[in-house]
């Protein structure tokens, strides 16, 4: 082993000999990195060592630059994330030793953050003003509606007394004007009641009191209530109820209000036609619902109006508003009451063929 090692040593020493052309070329390349490349001529080994120290220093500087750049990029990334999270007060530090591109990005992000911060403050202020205005509007509508209802009820009451007196006095011909007064007063009272209901809903003052409700009884009562106005319009109101479990846990007063609004609309926009009130069960995703459907053969709703029919103060068109009257609040109130009851309301319609409104409420 020793002999063999001794025998190979001259070859290894020869490979390290600076006079070897390959070693000499490598030393020249390394020495060229040194500050004083001319020193290679006098002492190539010393020049190579100096060059290696320079290379090591450059590598250390590059490593520090990479770490600093990674840290700066992380700060930029966190700032962008904070912007996405609506935290616009975060700022990216800008230092003289930072990369110029990163500093430019940091300055841009900071400027964008300041602009976004100002914009958000303005939007928050506008939102607060709008909410305050909405609350003031709802309070005003509630108060003024209450103040208007009191004298209207008095007018209706006195009109009934006057009518009775005229009938007793045998002056039946004069009762026609009193009847017109009562009709106009009740119509105005209904409009005011709609505005008051919407104001209460928007102000969050509507209480829901769920209790067991027998839908057979409730729907028959609705049919009886609507019978006079349906007959006056020359319409026919049919009812079909197929409910193996007629008990529904909901607020009966709110449900009556919803269905009366829909039935009233169906009767108002249908002349010498047919209105159908039906109810049945529907299962969806393992849950049981009750579908209450009101279908009519009236004027129908244009396709481009179906999306806005449940908006407040909206009717099919201005012509319908002038012809049929109303504030256009009934369906808006019905949708919001359906939301409060945990249900939904939808509509399908064909122009001049009629409309179908579907109220879906959870059985439990």
User: Could you give the CA distance from residue 44 to residue 22 in angstroms, rounded to a whole number?
Assistant: 14
Return the residue matching tokens 């969050």.
Answer: 204
Asked whether the beta carbons of 361 and 248 are under 8 A apart, the reply is yes
User: Could you give the CA distance from residue 86 to residue 111 in angstroms, rounded to a whole number?
Assistant: 15
How close are the terminal C-alpha atoms of the chain, in Å?
95
Q: Name the CATH topology of 211-362.
A: Heat Shock Protein 90 (3.30.565)
Give the model's pLDDT for residue 7. Answer: 46
> pLDDT of the chain along its 364 residues, tens only?
444 444 444 444 444 455 667 666 666 666 565 555 555 556 666 666 776 677 677 777 777 767 766 776 677 666 666 655 555 555 666 666 666 666 677 777 677 777 777 777 787 788 888 777 777 777 777 677 667 778 888 888 888 999 899 999 988 888 888 888 888 888 888 878 887 787 778 777 788 899 999 999 999 999 999 999 999 999 999 999 988 888 899 999 999 999 999 999 999 999 999 999 999 998 888 889 999 999 999 999 998 888 888 887 665 554 554 455 556 788 989 999 999 999 999 999 999 899 999 999 998 7
- Alpha-helix residue ranges (DSSP H) falling in the chain: 2-15, 21-31, 44-84, 100-168, 175-202, 215-232, 252-268, 318-324, 330-340
Give the model's pLDDT for residue 14. Answer: 42
User: Could you give the CA distance from residue 331 to residue 360 in angstroms, rounded to a whole number?
Assistant: 15
Beta pairing partners, 157:
none
User: Could you give the CA distance from residue 249 to residue 234 in angstroms, rounded to a whole number?
Assistant: 35
Give the model's pLDDT for residue 8. Answer: 45
Q: What are phi and psi of 301, to 5 degrees?
A: -130, 130
Tokens of 361: 């409420």
Asked whether the beta carbons of 309 and 331 are under 8 A apart, the reply is yes
How would you list the strands of the sheet with 287-296, edge to edge? 236-242, 274-284, 287-296, 354-362, 344-350
Q: Measured between alpha carbons, how far is residue 77 from residues 103, 115, 304 in Å?
A: 13, 19, 45
Asked whether the beta carbons of 145 and 199 are under 8 A apart, the reply is yes
Domain boundaries of the chain, sorted by first residue:
2-84, 135-202, 211-362
Q: What are phi and psi of 21, to 5 degrees?
A: -60, -40
User: Could you give the CA distance from residue 54 to residue 74 in angstroms, rounded to a whole number?
Assistant: 30
**CA nearest to 266, candidates 358, 361, 357:** 357
Q: What are phi and psi of 42, to 5 degrees?
A: -90, -40
């Amino acid at each position: 082993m020793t002999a063999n090692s001794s025998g190979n040593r001259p070859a290894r020493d020869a490979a390290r000999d600076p006079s070897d052309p390959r070693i000499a070329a490598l030393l020249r390349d390394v020495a060229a990195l040194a500050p004083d490349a001319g020193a290679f001529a006098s002492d190539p080994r010393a020049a190579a060592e100096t060059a290696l120290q320079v290379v090591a220093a450059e590598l250390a500087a590059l490593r520090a630059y990479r770490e600093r750049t990674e840290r700066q990029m992380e700060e930029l990334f966190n700032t962008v994330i904070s912007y996405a999270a609506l935290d616009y007060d975060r700022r990216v530090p800008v230092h003289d030793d930072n990369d110029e591109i990163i500093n430019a990005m940091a300055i841009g992000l900071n400027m964008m953050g300041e602009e976004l911060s100002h914009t958000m403050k303005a939007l928050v202020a506008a939102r607060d003003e709008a909410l305050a205005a909405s609350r003031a509007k709802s309070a005003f509508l509630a108060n003024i509606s209450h103040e208007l209802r009191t004298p209207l009820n008095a007018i209706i009451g006195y009109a009934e007394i006057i009518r009775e007196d005229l009938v007793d006095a045998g002056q039946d011909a004069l009762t026609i004007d009193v009847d017109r007064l009562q009709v106009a007063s009740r119509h105005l009272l209904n409009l005011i009641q709609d505005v008051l209901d919407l104001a209460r809903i928007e102000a969050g003052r509507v209480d829901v009191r769920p209790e067991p409700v027998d839908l057979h009884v409730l729907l028959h009562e609705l049919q009886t209530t609507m019978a006079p106005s349906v007959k006056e319009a020359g319409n026919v109101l049919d009812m079909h109820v197929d409910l193996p479990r007629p008990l529904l846990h909901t607020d009966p007063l709110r449900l009556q209000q919803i269905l009366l609004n829909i039935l009233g609309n169906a009767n108002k926009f249908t002349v010498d036609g047919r209105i159908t009130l039906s109810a049945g069960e529907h299962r969806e995703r393992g849950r049981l619902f009750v579908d209450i459907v009101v279908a009519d053969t009236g004027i129908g709703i244009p396709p481009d109006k179906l999306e806005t029919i449940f908006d407040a103060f909206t009717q099919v068109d201005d012509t319908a508003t002038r012809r049929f009257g109303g504030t256009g609040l009934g369906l808006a109130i019905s949708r919001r009451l359906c939301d409060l009851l945990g249900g939904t309301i939808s509509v399908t319609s064909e122009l001049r063929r009629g409309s179908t409104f579907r109220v879906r409420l959870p059985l439990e």
